[in-house]
Structure 1
Amino acid sequence: MTYFIDRRPNAKHKSAVNRQRFLERYRKHIKRSVEEAVNRRSITDMERGEKVSIPTKDISEPVFQHGPGGARQIVSPGNKEFLEGDKIRRPSGQGGGDGAGEGGASNKGEGDDEFAFTLSREEFLEFVFDGLELPHLQRKPLKSLEEIKMVRAGLARDGVPSRISITRSMREAYARRIAMRAPIKRALKEAQEALAAEERKDPVLRNPARIVELKAEIERLEKRIEAVPFIDTYDLRYHQLAAQPQPSSQAVMFCVMDVSGSMTQNHKDIAKRFFLLLYLFLEKHYEKVELVFVRHHTAAREVNEEEFFYSRETGGTIVSSALNLVNNIIDKRYPAGQWNLYVAQASDGDNWDDDSNICRDLLVKKLMPQLQYYAYVEITPHEHQSLWHEYETVAEQFSERFAMRQIVDAGDIYPVFRELFKRRLSQEQ
């Protein structure tokens, strides 16, 4: 059996292997603490690490103890409460005994606080986004500009030293040595046999000159065999790489946020936290996902990341302006045949009276046939308005690719986010 031992040094004498085992063993407890941390964080500190706590009773190790049976005599130094023959009552409660974890004050007993430790940024985000993915992500067919992957394409006599094939080079060298030595070895064997035959003759019939000639020939042939190099430049073989076009899994996420006057500052903060979670999720798990930020009130604009999260622009509400802009951007820059298209929209549900029907038609006729997934979150504690009801019609028609959820307060952000982007068992490849 082969054993692999990780002897890589760890910073400050810490054991990375033991830390990973600990995180995996208490994953459920850590994940619960991480969810609570996400709900209480502000926009600006969403991606830093986190100090989490685990109840001490949950990390206790099993131990062997003596059973209650048998007669034992115990001497307790410093005992002032009991005399010989007194029965000692078993301590009540759990954890550290009397006074530990109780609601009221106590003059005796000890206890332990919860075990606390700090997760790094990477560890924190790993727990935040565990089990999430972009739904229905597909590899698109080959197009003119596609993802290129370098693959091995056989062997060649020329190449860089880093790509040398040692096994093939040694095989070529061995074959060359056999081929070059074979005729010399045959000649050597013949000379050795002739010398042996000459030396076996009667001394009277033996030819001394012939013996000297054969010995010289044998020495010459042995030197020729030794002169054959172990490996030659001719033997070297190198792995060749060729550019092979690959189906592309590139994707683009459109982040659409309502910034109209009906969106209060609290609503906007919730929407920003939702989109910040989405931004961190895509940044951590996907290399080829582009982000397009769209803000809208009566008019929609494509903006950069800074303006999307921090601009103070406001106005009336026409949601169809944002959907039209998304459709135009797709037509110009992101053909559906080459890109996986996603849209995440956040709004309070308020819209111009006659515009909700237009939004429904835009989704059904233009956007949804091209999109992989559309996620709509409505941030409101009140009854749904016309936009939600029109979107329900779209959800019925595109049930697997259109999802809509309601967020009432900040505590709903993370559960809703996980529900929208949870890993599907029937994920298309």
Structure 2
Amino acid sequence: MTKVIDRRQERPSGRHLDNEDRVKRRQSDVIRDHIRKQVNNSSIKTFGKDGVVVPIPKRNMRLPVIHHGNKEGVDSVVRPGNKKFNTGDMFPKPKGGGGGGVGPGEASNDGEGEDPYIYVKLSIKEVLSILFEGAELPNLSKEGGWSLTQTESVPDGFATRGPQSRMDLSRTFANKKGEELVRGRIAEKNILRALMVQYGIVKSYANEEIPNLDIYKPVNQISMIEGYLERVRPTVEDKISPVDKDLLERYDVKLKALNKLGSVSDKWREEQMNFRREIEKPVPVRQAVMFCIMDVSGSMDEQRKEIAKSFFGLLNAFLETKYEKLDVVFIRHTTEADEVDEDTFFYDRKSGGTLVSTSIQKMKEIIAERYDPSIWNIYAAQASDGDNWDNDNSRCLQLLDEELPLIQGYFYVEVAENSESNLWGPYEQCMKRHADRFFMARASSPADIIPVFSHFFKKTGAPVAKMEMPAWMPN
């Protein structure tokens, strides 16, 4: 039965990508810069939900072309249909270059113009992929559990059946050659025995023998006996008795079969084949948990809360886009800390006083209860205006010194102006003691979120996003 596979809806790949994909690939820098600017000027919660339209200057789309100059050099060319010039005639080249039409951005007296941009629409998936390019969680090293969706191919011996692309030719040829050698040796012995029987019968009638036959190798003995029988047997055919003649004929049949068995076979048998076998095994998963800790005390006004929410919104999108097995724990705190769901974390109106240590204590309790540090990569991101009681700062440092050896990364963003808060100094001391896993920065406006994010999650060995870092960013 004929089977028809309709691939018209499948997306092309490689050199068959459509024009829009080629544009996206060539203009990646323009697209990346536009997306970062859009993020700085938009709310993280609503940015890119319906995709993003990126304007690309048409001048960027011009491809380099080799052509003749308009003002210099000698142009030697044959023009078909020429009736005006002869060989050696010279004439001036036209001045200027290109047409004289109205270019992009220029005024036109006929009311017509041309948009200097082309527009490319990116899906939210493409936007997030570009936005988080070069970003990763630091120190993601602990492995625990196995992926249910990701597998890898690993060798698992050999099989006698499989696709031709996986045939191991060296092993297959070795098997065939080995069998032929063994079969040839066995056939050689049996052939020599049969020939010796025929040689004994013919010799008894001819009274002629091969001298010193025993001193030769089997292969030479076979050759000498075959030559002897071919030469002598016809001369004594009339003298051979019916019984011996019948015996000679039976050995003729046997020798024919033995010679066929000992010959090299051109056919491949299934048991000679060797195909590399592979099986799919699940890959180990680096499971992680991110604690999102937000200060919602009375000193955190709406502007500061929006900056904090923008940071956590971007962080949440980053985690969902880049990582398969990752838990997110949301903690809000005033003088008390509570674990809440995502909606409560972002939209609840509760407020009050400030005790930052309660949030770190809550994180410590949750880690002890649910997340074994030996198999979980533990991260925490904290946003606060830094307004805390002085006697609570020492408690914060004590808790952090206890927990940071178990944590892969702790990220503190202070949503305040450039003035130093009473929490900033103690946290700087903590950063000096745990420089490989404690990171801190300030964000005084939504425009600071991308630089802060790039500073926190830059890929090891990768440059930070192409954006000027604020002077207040700690080194």
TM over 0.5: yes
Partner of 2:55: 53
User: Gapped runs of 5+ residues in structure 2?
Assistant: 1-6, 75-93, 196-221, 464-475
Equivalents in 2 of 1:396, 1:11: separation in Å? 51
**Structure 1 residues 195, 399: CA separation in 2 closer, same or farther (over 3 Å shift)?**
closer
Query: 1:368 deviation in Å?
Result: 2.5
Partner of 1:309: 346
Where 2:332 maps in the other structure, the secondary structure is strand
List per-residue Cα deviations over 1:82-136 (Å, max 9, x = no partner): xxxxxx9979xxx99768436xx76367443212212233332221012222223
Partner of 2:461: 425
The amino acid that maps onto 1:36 is K
The amino acid that maps onto 1:16 is L
List per-residue Cα deviations over 1:401-425 (Å, max 9, x = no partner): 3222221222221122112211233
Aligned with 1:107 (options 106, 109, 124): 109
CA contact (8 A) 1:344 1:375 kept: yes
Equivalents in 2 of 1:401, 1:213: separation in Å? 90
**Structure 1 residues 239, 406: CA separation in 2 closer, same or farther (over 3 Å shift)?**
same
Structure with max Cα Rg: 2
Equivalents in 1 of 2:69, 2:272: separation in Å? 76
Query: 1:263 deviation in Å?
Result: 3.0
Partner of 1:32: 33
1:329 aligns with 2:366: yes
Equivalents in 2 of 1:425, 1:11: separation in Å? 34
Partner of 2:232: 201
Equivalents in 2 of 1:65, 1:112: separation in Å? 29
List per-residue Cα deviations over 1:277-315 (Å, max 9, x = no partner): 222222333334432222222222223334433444443
CA contact (8 A) 2:12 2:18 kept: no
**Structure 1 residues 112, 298: CA separation in 2 closer, same or farther (over 3 Å shift)?**
same
The amino acid that maps onto 1:380 is A
TM-score, normalised to structure 1, is 0.73
List per-residue Cα deviations over 1:215-235 (Å, max 9, x = no partner): 211233356569998435597
CA contact (8 A) 2:71 2:95 kept: no
Where 1:11 maps in the other structure, the secondary structure is coil
Where 1:267 maps in the other structure, the secondary structure is helix
Q: Which residues in structure 2 correspond to 1:241-260 (within 5 Å)?
A: 249-260=286-297
List per-residue Cα deviations over 1:205-247 (Å, max 9, x = no partner): 134445422321123335656999843559767758798997x
Q: Which residues in structure 2 correspond to 1:21-420 (within 5 Å)?
A: 22-42=23-43, 43-46=45-48, 49-63=51-65, 64=67, 66-68=69-71, 100-101=104-105, 107=109, 110-139=113-142, 155=157, 166-167=167-168, 168=171, 171-188=174-191, 191=195, 194=225, 196-201=227-232, 203-206=234-237, 207=240, 208-221=245-258, 224=261, 230-233=268-271, 239=277, 249-352=286-389, 354-363=391-400, 365-381=401-417, 383-420=419-456
List per-residue Cα deviations over 1:232-268 (Å, max 9, x = no partner): 559767758798997x744322111223343334433
- How well do the aligned residues superpose, as a CA RMSD in angstroms? 4.4
Equivalents in 2 of 1:342, 1:215: separation in Å? 86
Equivalents in 2 of 1:135, 1:227: separation in Å? 63
List per-residue Cα deviations over 1:169-202 (Å, max 9, x = no partner): 6643553354245312553476485555323116
**Structure 1 residues 128, 376: CA separation in 2 closer, same or farther (over 3 Å shift)?**
same
Q: Percent identity?
A: 33
The amino acid that maps onto 1:420 is F
**Structure 1 residues 19, 184: CA separation in 2 closer, same or farther (over 3 Å shift)?**
farther
**Structure 1 residues 166, 324: CA separation in 2 closer, same or farther (over 3 Å shift)?**
same
Partner of 1:76: none
Number of aligned residues? 393
